[in-house]
Amino acid sequence: MGESFVRAPEIGMILSGNYKAVKSFDLGYAEAAAKVIDAVDAVSWKAPDGLEIQGWVVRPKSKGPCPW
């Protein structure tokens, strides 16, 4: 299964080292996401107890403010 911030979930398989989508669940998500998402950045930081926290910053194409 594959998906990303700009690609809807899909079921896929790997044949001879190549990924092939078998079923996409995209009902217009990829097109809509491409219009509003400029970039996605991985971030990480240490919590007070030393645990590493990981997250994502999704940057919009608009300059803001972003009501959503």
**Measured distance CA(1)–CA(7) in Å, rounded:** 11
Mean pLDDT of 26-51: 90
Report if residue 47 sits inside a domain.
yes
pLDDT reported for residue 24: 87
Mean pLDDT of 3-12: 85
pLDDT reported for residue 68: 59
Report if residue 29 sits inside a domain.
yes
Q: What is the pTM for the complete model shown?
A: 0.59
User: Distances from the Cα of 63 to the Cαs of 6, 23, 33, 39, 58, in angstroms?
Assistant: 19, 35, 16, 13, 13
Domain range holding 50?
2-60
- As for how many domains the chain has, the answer is 1
Report if residue 65 sits inside a domain.
no
Cβ-based neighbours of 61, under 8 Å, separated by 6 or more: 35, 36, 37, 38
